[in-house]
Structure 1
């Protein structure tokens, strides 16, 4: 659990802000452990594990659905082709169809399980476009609720997520075949 530091204990002039320290996020921010090839790519290794360990929600013929390890909101899913390709134009017709169908299914399941008001769908193509792992294509399926983002991302550069990844994965995986 992150430590909350009273600003009056800091050097300098105290202000009205409390600090919510989340040092575990520095791994993501600095890109530590970013893959250097398909041998250590998390989107290549995740489906080789059992579903719970790999955070896999569902598997298709050419693509699969996995929980985002750094989610924007509870239930944030990624739809990834099994094949290690960086660009949407690199997908075969079958892979494109599987990614699209799994994305649609993910939206239906998320609606049934958690009732979001809407979704953000997207692919960040290349590091300059915001892709955290640019070498392996992945489609974001981000459930959204009215008022789901508060002051923390704006002021504290922190996200409050009320559901653990494994809890969300279990609920979504169980509902996938309903």
Structure 2
């Protein structure tokens, strides 16, 4: 018998999904420590230099920052200055600015990175996968045709062709003036 035939005898209904087992990601799930506001890196960043903290743009109620651990080159996050953890805790004004900055970020990424698409998402709460659950943040991940390869799976390595500082400088320079 093949593995598929063996699997057909197991409980449950087979589906079209293939499973990719990634036990190395448990560190993100198992770490239950969440920073308090006084130790939150997202609250700290705006008090520092933009280059040092990878801030691309500062708005009135929200800002755009490069992800320090990017999924792809140009991975951005848009977040309010205010330390709130959930989307429904943000004010209408904050949500409006986050949405506007997200649109602008998509345009700027297209101009600078020439990406083919974008993943946009928020993980709400630690149980949903938010690395810093106490501070709302929206991910904007540029995608290219065939940008996935075997490195992350086989070698536990992500190929990022541009340095964070270089990409931040290019995105900040391309950001439209208010």
TM-score by length of 1: 0.80
Query: In structure 2, what is the equivalent of residue 86 of structure 1?
Result: 85
Measured on the aligned residues, the alpha-carbon RMSD in Å equals 2.1
Which residues of 2 match residues 1-178 of structure 1 at below 5 A? 36-177=35-176
> Structure 1 66/89 Cα, relative in aligned 2: closer, same or farther at 3 Å?
same
Count of residue pairs brought into register by the alignment: 153
Unaligned runs of 5+ in 2: 1-24
Question: CA deviation digits over 1:78-126, x for unaligned, max 9?
Answer: 0010000000000101000000000000000000001100000000011
Aligned partners of 2:48, 2:149: CA distance in 1, in Å? 35
The structural deviation recorded for 1:155 is: 2.0
Please tell me whether Structure 1 or Structure 2 has the larger radius of gyration of its CA atoms: 2
Instruction: For 1:110 and 1:142, locate their aligned partners in 2 and report how far apart those are by CA, in whole Å.
Output: 9
- Could you tell me how far 1:30 is from its partner in structure 2? 7.5
1:166–1:35 CA distance, 2 compared to 1 (3 A): farther
> In 2, are the aligned partners of 1:73 and 1:161 still within 8 Å (CA)?
yes
Deviation at 1:36, TM superposition (A): 2.3
CA contact (8 A) 1:58 1:64 kept: yes
TM-score by length of 2: 0.80
